[in-house]
Amino acid sequence: MTETTNDPSLIERVAGLFHRPGRSILNFFEHLGRYMSIIGWMLYNFRNAKEYSGNIMQQMVMIGNNSIPIVLFVSMFVGMVTSVQSSYQLYDWIPRSVVGALVTKSVLLELTPLLTALVLAGKVGATITAELGTMRVTEQIDALEALAFDPVSFLITPRVLAGILMFPILVIFGDLVAILGGMFGASVIAGIPVEAFVDGMQSSFETWDAFFGIIKATVFGFIITSVSCYQGFQVQGGSEGVGKATMNSVVVTCLSVVVMDFVLASVLL
């Protein structure tokens, strides 16, 4: 007796196993290629940037000025919690001044640049993607092209430039406030005298640490603004497409920032 069955063969099942990951990999490289193509076009036409200086200023206000309150708020609490937790963890083991050194090093090298980037990936990145995505679905980007404008130079270059310029400035402000927050947390909550905190801070401070944080902020600023612009440009469909692209933008920028954080630390430290 022969048995008939509709079950897929072993080869089909094995092929099926590779189908989804294969498509995801292809999809990833397709997006990477398109992203690189837009970045390449932006760099190739960089000389046009001066013609859109008004747009650059407008974006610097949006990305920089409008983000100051949230960056300062987050930095203040990051500084406070770092000092309180390090005091708690190391209280019996180390001199009190070490808390000042620890807070300063952590804040300058890692915490402020990374957390500022993650917060701004949500705030700035989502805004850029939603804005450009809406322009895409309402044909405003097509209208720009129809009016003989280069949409990359007009829309993307000013945002990326503003990101590169403003992220480091935000991080410098964030560093200052985080250290003040750390000092406040150390003295008020952990009972460490301000003098001891300042001693530790001064003895451990190295200009390179602050400079490294600024390099990171510049790279993060580029990643967040360029990826968000790309996601906005690629929107298809209506409001659903805009929502999906905005979510993708936040996820991709956060992941990229975390990965690049590790790469920069490995290469530069």
Partner 1 sequence: MIQLTNIWKRFGEKQVHQGVNLEVRDHETLVILGRSGGGKSVLLKMIIGLLKPDSGSIVVDGKEVTTLTYKQLQRLRFKFGFLFQGAALFDSMTVGQNIELALRRHSDFKDADIEERVQYALELVKLKNVEQLMPSNISGGMKKRVGLARAIALTPKYMLYDEPTTGLDVETADGINLLINELKTTLGVTSIVVTHDIHSAFVIGDRFAIFENGQFIMTGTKDDIRNSPNPEVRKYIESEIET
Which one, 116 or 234, has the nearer CB to partner 1?
Answer: 234
Residues 126-145 close enough to bind partner 1 by CB under 8 A: 134-135, 138-140, 142-145
Q: Could you say which of 10, 148, 267, 269 contacts partner 1 (CB under 8 A)?
A: 148
Query: Is residue 51 within the footprint of partner 1 (CB under 8 A)?
Result: yes
CB of 100 to partner 1, least distance (A): 46
Query: Is residue 110 within the footprint of partner 1 (CB under 8 A)?
Result: no
Which one, 11 or 147, has the nearer CB to partner 1?
Answer: 147
Residues 216-255 close enough to bind partner 1 by CB under 8 A: none
Q: Could you say which of 1, 10, 11, 147 contacts partner 1 (CB under 8 A)?
A: 147
Among candidate residues 103, 106, 151, 105, the one with its CA nearest the CA of residue 131: 151
Which one, 110 or 150, has the nearer CB to partner 1?
Answer: 150
CB of 147 to partner 1, least distance (A): 4
**# of chain residues touching partner 1 (CB under 8 A):** 15
- Residue 6 class from Cβ within 10 Å (0-12 exposed, 13-18 middle, 19+ buried)? exposed
Q: How far apart are CA 244 and CA 241, in angstroms?
A: 5
Which one, 142 or 195, has the nearer CB to partner 1?
Answer: 142
CB of 140 to partner 1, least distance (A): 5
Measured at the alpha carbon of residue 42, what is the angle toward residues 227 and 267, in degrees to the nearest 5?
60
CB of 127 to partner 1, least distance (A): 12
Which one, 55 or 82, has the nearer CB to partner 1?
Answer: 55
Cα dist from 175 to 82, 118, 167, 242, whole Å: 13, 15, 12, 34
Structure tokens at 188: 């008020």
| Diameter over CA atoms, the chain | 92
Query: Is residue 150 within the footprint of partner 1 (CB under 8 A)?
Result: yes
DSSP assignment string, 57-95 = HHHHHHHTGGGHHHHHHHHHHHHHHHHHHHHHHHTTTS-
Q: Could you say which of 149, 184, 205, 222 contacts partner 1 (CB under 8 A)?
A: 149
Which one, 51 or 240, has the nearer CB to partner 1?
Answer: 51
CB of 139 to partner 1, least distance (A): 4
Q: Could you say which of 1, 10, 11, 146 contacts partner 1 (CB under 8 A)?
A: 146
Cα dist from 89 to 83, 179, 190, 261, whole Å: 10, 19, 11, 25
What one-character DSSP code corresponds to residue 1?
-
Task: Find out whether 128 and 221 touch, Cβ atoms under 8 Å.
Answer: no
CB of 252 to partner 1, least distance (A): 24
Sequence-separated (6 or more) residues with CB below 8 Å from residue 39: 226
- Site of interaction with partner 1 (CB under 8 A): 51, 134-135, 138-140, 142-150
